[in-house]
Structure 1
């Protein structure tokens, strides 16, 4: 039986599940002292359930405008073709006032910026030099911090050509190039519904 002096707590993964955030974000909240946490003798991090509940209440009490301003949908475009890259970025930015979009010219550049920008959605060209779209998607799916990331892969290859290369990456949504910009705008606007991408 637990001691009455022991506060109710949970691990980082459970806290992330309760808050609907990534493990990395929860760790950041702990580092900023927003969530109360401590390390057990066994070396495990424990987070106070009371501090989790308090954080949830604070988020619910945010004024509507402040909440909207904090809930921006972040999109990252990764394409080595400059014209396509900028066209997709402009389309994303013009889709809705609460969409942020950055554009990267390579998978390596994208991987370097991911921890800073923290996108909710990535548009990834499959055919890129050095590290291609298949490899980038694989690396993303191996990282728990990006478990909620929505991945859209882009390709001008025919279905037969894609099949020869092993098909589109599992867990991604394949869109043919050139991208239907009207569809992209509608897709982003639809995702701005409350909690759709949190």
Structure 2
């Protein structure tokens, strides 16, 4: 009898990873290319993904978890709330923000209702929000926030794949709100967050 290769049982193909995660093969490939899910290629050019990486992604994509980019004990951090209903996007944002070494404490919400509760409880310094979401969408959520003077100092950015004409039909980008088109240019987003950090930390001194 041929012995079982235990190492082979610890890896899977992109197809199998997609089945385990309940997403498309192309989504898995995008996550691998972005470095969110660890993988390597065989000599034949086929991707192999550790099952542990699949499990880690699934845990990270569950949403609602705090994902600090620096130790929580740091003296001064900037709080960021990311509102995104797509678990793959949430995991991608979490991965990217953690790479930048900025003094951030990051929380995630899946919809506008969750976000309003989170904002009332913690009042984040920076809000990054998708627009198209079930229930209370990001646009209505942001309009609600802008109606509260006590939240006027919050930095707000929209991250959306909406076409300019679709956004204009909703009233355009509100004054004082920054817009990032999806797929997000992470160099631009990093620069924006650096500026937010510099201003917030300077005000907190």
- Assess, with a 3 A threshold, how the Cα gap between structure 1 residues 132 and 181 changes in structure 2: closer, same or farther: same
**Match for residue 84 of structure 1?**
89
**TM-score computed with the length of structure 2 as normaliser:** 0.58
Give the SS at the match of 1:112. helix
The alignment's TM-score, normalised by the length of structure 1, stands at 0.59
Cα RMSD (Å): 2.1
1:196 is displaced (CA, Å) by 5.0
How far apart, CA to CA, are the structure 2 residues paired with 1:196 and 1:180?
26
Q: Which moved more, 1:141-150 or 1:162-171?
A: 162-171
Instruction: Give the drift of 1:166.
Output: 2.2
Q: What runs of 5+ residues in structure 2 fail to find an aligned partner?
A: 1-72
Secondary structure of the corresponding residue to residue 189 of structure 1? helix
Given candidates 139, 143, 147, the residue that maps to 1:142 is: 147
2:127 is aligned with 1:154: no
Q: Secondary structure at the match of 1:193?
A: helix
**Helix, strand or coil: the match of 1:69?**
coil
Distance in structure 2 (CA, Å) of the matches to 1:128 and 1:197: 33
Q: Is the 8 A contact 1:155 1:177 kept in 2?
A: yes
* Residues 1:165 and 1:138: Cα distance change in structure 2 (over 3 Å): closer
Match of 1:116 in 2: 121
1:177 to 178, 182, 188: 182
State how far apart, in whole Å, the 2-side matches of 1:180 and 1:159 are. Answer: 17
CA shift, 1:141, in A, is: 1.1
How far has the Cα of 1:150 moved from its partner? 0.6
Structure 1: 4+ residue segments shifted above 3 A: 194-198
